[in-house]
Amino acid sequence: MDKSKLKEIELHDKLSNKYENIRLKNKNGLYYNKIWSEKILDKISKDFNNVLDYGCGTCTFYKYIISKYDNTNYIGTDISFSMINVGKKEFKNINVAVADGEKLPFKNNSFDLIIGRGILHHLINPEKGIKELSRILKGNKQVIFSEPNNNILLSIPRFIAKKTTKHFTKTHKDFKRKELIKLFQSNGFKIRSIENFGYFAFPFGLPDIMPILRLMPFSLFKILIKIDKIISKIPYIKILSWHTIILAEKE
């Protein structure tokens, strides 16, 4: 296996403990995960039965998918055994597998929805990952992803975070809007919608990254979320988000 992939596995095996004991127990982190998950699911515009949670991590998406679509056949994959193990402890009968996102163990046309949150930027070769998604997704069905947005305003805090924390590897990247669109379009997808997500509240929804982020009072955090909703509707300003949510359909 590629050395860079091994480093990704090693990193996320180590981070799984922080996810389990900080991100999944911190009030701000739990609340933000709920908002973010529901935001993504609300964008889906086609019926589905078989859903792949691509890069599922600790499987936090699972309960929101099952609660909204109770007859769904859910499968989660992640390259980190330790991350998946956290999810299996939380959800006893969950269907998950350790898998390389650039070489998935599924037959062609296996799924009618693929969801991913913060996964493509971990891949050594995101295009290989997208090609795999196109292979295993049925025709005219959808993928929806939330990925880090590359913009000038956030380049400095991202640089600081990468230098001062142990949450990142050299593989980690972010995508310009046009770059993300091209990535999907060049691999057989039509873009159905694209939306910016996450502003002032976003860092505090990830309290495991830096200890200082855990000091945010919940009442103030909720105010930041309301401010973020206003910002997301302001032309030009709204493009300065932490993430981009993209909905695409296989042609």
pLDDT tens digit sequence for 10-57: 999 999 999 999 999 999 999 999 999 999 999 999 989 999 999 999
Q: Is the pLDDT of residue 170 over 90?
A: no
Q: Residue type for 213, please?
A: L
When divided into structural domains, the chain yields a total of 1
- Asked if 225 contacts 201 with a C-beta cutoff of 8 angstroms, the reply is yes
- Model pTM score: 0.96
pLDDT digits (tens, 9 = 90+) for 69-123: 988 999 999 999 999 999 999 999 999 999 999 999 999 999 999 999 999 999 9
SS3 label, residue 100: strand
Name the residue among 223, 173, 172, 229 with its Cα closest to residue 199: 229
CATH number at residue 195: 3.40.50.150
- Please give the helix or strand (H or E) that residue 243 lies within, else none: strand 243-250
Mean pLDDT of the region 221-241: 97
The terminus-to-terminus CA distance of the chain in angstroms comes to 32
How many CB atoms are closer than 10 A to CB 176? 12
How many CB atoms are closer than 10 A to CB 171? 16
Rounded Cα–Cα distance for residues 48 and 71 (Å): 10
Would you place residue 1 in the very low, low, confident or very high pLDDT band (cuts 50, 70, 90)?
A: confident
Domain with 141, as residue range(s), is 3-250
The CA-based angle 132-134-135, given to 5 degrees, is 65
Q: Tell me the C-alpha to C-alpha distance, in Å, between residue 222 and each of 29, 117, 123, 213.
A: 12, 22, 32, 14
